[in-house]
Amino acid sequence: MADVEANRQYGEWDMNEVELEGDISVPGAPSAIENEDDQQFNTLDEPVKDTIMRDARAVGKKFLHVLYPKESRSLLREWDLWGPLVLCVFLAMMLQGSTETANDLNDGGPQFAEVFVIYWVGAAIVTMNTKLLGGSISFFQSICVLGYCVLPLAIALIVCRIILVSEQNSVLFAIRCVVTLIAFGWSTFASTAFLAESQPPRRKGLAVYPIFLFYFIISWLVVSHTHH
Amino acid sequence: MEVIADDESDYEADFNSQSLGGNIDSGPHHMNDPERGQPATDLKGQVTQQVTSMMWQEGSERAKKAFNIYANIDILRPYFDVEPHEVRSRLIQSLIPAFPSAAATQVVPRELYGPTMVVFTLIALLLFQMKTSGHVVQEGTLMGTAFGICFGYWFGIASIMWVLAYVCNTRISMMQLLSLLGYGLFSHCIVLFLGTVWHSSSHASFYMIWAVFGGLSTVKMVSVLTSRTIGRTQRLIVCGTLAFIHLVFLLYLHFAYHRIVEGQRFVNP
């Protein structure tokens, strides 16, 4: 009997504790008011199309945040790697040179693997550097931000490919350079804005330099791509 | 006393297990078998299980440690504890040699942020140079080649120099050597950048910047090693090897990837 009572007491105590936890309002955590919304997020009942569309909308919102880097929390809090993966595959495919032209004088443009490795290893190195310098950010959050912030460069690549359709001259080359330079600045600025809070305050210069180098290499790949 | 008795039972368990495959009648130990055989086997099973689980746990923990990025980060974190102005001054100092004296050993920082960034910059420059010269890598990518060359040089030469320093009694640690060589690569970055951007047909201008910047960083490293080595022959061996490797590597980086540009020019003037 004593055990039963003790268990009941413990049980009650536990339940009280659970209730207490539930009442604490944690910023960012789903509150009781949002429970109705949570029920709608039950992916078991909804059609697959809705699930995919919701995820696609979340990815699209993040792309918008990169193009207009004002809200700095959303990308960090709800990170995903879909956007970076899509951008990476897009960049790698667009920059892929034809292997038929590869010979002693020409390597046929950057290879798919090269772009892929630069993208992911570069992002990983930048993240490692931020952590080594004492920044407070999780690994995938940083990868997510760095990956999403390549979007301006992907847009620059599309513009460059359109320009490359016509006959090339120095003016068009200059336009390509300017477009890529703007995209490079935009990418660096956006990623710095998103990661500013997580970087150590007195060492921002040290944390920004690898980011600068990372986007510089990608933007240079974009500019140097001349294959039709 | 009870502990001793327990120990004995352990030993007996071992003997019993050994005698299972061979002679059953193995002397006085056999006398205790009916009494202790069963508990001893249980104990042996438990011990085996415990040892197995312990080894499994330890093995998995070690594997986790090896793969756990955060564990490695904590080991490296002290070497990345620098301020921006320190990195700036060290980069500049890497091109300003100080006169070596045996009385005052020159300070070498145990820092890896600057060297790592210098190596990454060198990789970027090398990639740039490889692409502009149309370098072809048959197996693998340009990225892999640039990474391999730069990090291979950095770690490889630091290891070689560490062995040499140990043999020649130079007072320098592996981390200091990595830092010294890494900052020394700053001159390579400058020379490669100037060589790529300001490309001239004659090699005279390249040799000039090679001699100036490469020479300055070499003299800086030589002065540091000289101040930390005792004995003329030892100094000559350590400093001569480092200076030779450092300067030849810069020549290699430049000429290995510029030769093809000239070929292209020849084909398509």
Are B124 and A206 a contacting pair at CB < 8 A? no
Section B225-237 average pLDDT: 90
Q: What's the pLDDT tens digit per position in B3-25?
A: 444 444 444 444 444 444 444 44
Section B172-198 average pLDDT: 90
pLDDT of residue B92: 92
d(CA B177, CA A70): 44
d(CA A196, CA A148): 16
Q: Are residue B187 and residue B243 in the same domain, yes or no?
A: yes
pLDDT of residue B247: 93
Q: How many domains does chain B have?
A: 2
Within-domain flag for B75: no
Q: Contact at 8 Å (CB) between B198 and B261?
A: no
- Distance of residue A26 Cα from the nearest chain B Cα, in angstroms: 27
Residue ranges making up the domain that contains B218: 91-267
- Distance between the two ends of chain A, CA-based, in angstroms? 84
Residue B48 burial (CB < 10 Å; 0-12/13-18/19+)? exposed
Section A192-208 average pLDDT: 84
Percent of the residues in chain A that have a pLDDT greater than 70, as a whole number:
71
d(CA B198, CA B186): 18
Band (B117; pLDDT cuts 50, 70, 90): very high
Section B216-229 average pLDDT: 92
Q: What's the pLDDT tens digit per position in A168-180?
A: 788 888 999 999 9
Within-domain flag for B79: no
Extract the tokens encoding B75.
């080991």
Q: Mark which of B51, B67, B83 sits at the end of a domain.
A: B67
Residue B179 one-letter amino acid: S
List chain B residues with CB under 8 Å of A113: 141
Q: What's the pLDDT tens digit per position in A49-83?
A: 888 888 888 888 888 888 887 766 766 777 888 88
Extract the tokens encoding B56.
């499994």
Q: Are residue B63 and residue B95 in the same domain, yes or no?
A: no
pLDDT of residue A166: 81
Q: Are residue B38 and residue B133 in the same domain, yes or no?
A: no
Q: Are residue B63 and residue B193 in the same domain, yes or no?
A: no
Which residue in A96, A99, A103, A105 has the most chain B C-beta atoms within 10 A of its own C-beta, making it the best mutation to test that interface? A105
Section B61-87 average pLDDT: 77
Q: Chain B contact for A28, CB < 8 A?
A: no
Within-domain flag for B18: yes
pLDDT of residue A1: 47
Q: Contact at 8 Å (CB) between A132 and B74?
A: no
Q: Mark which of B18, B52, B67 sits at the end of a domain.
A: B67
Extract the tokens encoding A56.
């696609």
Extract the tokens encoding B90.
């060290």
Q: Are residue B246 and residue B136 in the same domain, yes or no?
A: yes
Q: Chain B contact for A99, CB < 8 A?
A: no
Q: What is the mean pLDDT of chain B?
A: 77
Within-domain flag for B82: no
Q: Are residue B98 and residue B161 in the same domain, yes or no?
A: yes
Measured in whole angstroms, the distance separating CA B123 from the mean position of its chain's CA atoms is: 17
Q: Contact at 8 Å (CB) between B239 and B223?
A: no
Q: Which residue in chain A has the smallest CA separation from B73?
A: A132
Q: Chain A contact for B174, CB < 8 A?
A: no
* Complex-level ipTM: 0.73
Q: Would you give the DSSP letter of residue B140?
A: S
d(CA A33, CA B114): 51
Q: Are residue B188 and residue B59 in the same domain, yes or no?
A: no
Q: Which parts of A73-180 are beta strand (E)? A: none
Q: Which residue has the tokens 């909804």?
A: A46
Residue B169 has pLDDT above 50, yes or no: yes
pLDDT of residue A110: 63
Are A117 and B87 a contacting pair at CB < 8 A? no
Within-domain flag for B120: yes
3-state class of B99 per DSSP?
Answer: coil
Section B228-235 average pLDDT: 89
Q: What's the pLDDT tens digit per position in A90-148?
A: 998 888 765 555 555 445 556 777 888 888 889 999 988 888 888 888 888 888 889 99
Residue B36 one-letter amino acid: R
Within-domain flag for B74: no
Within-domain flag for B80: no
Within-domain flag for B78: no
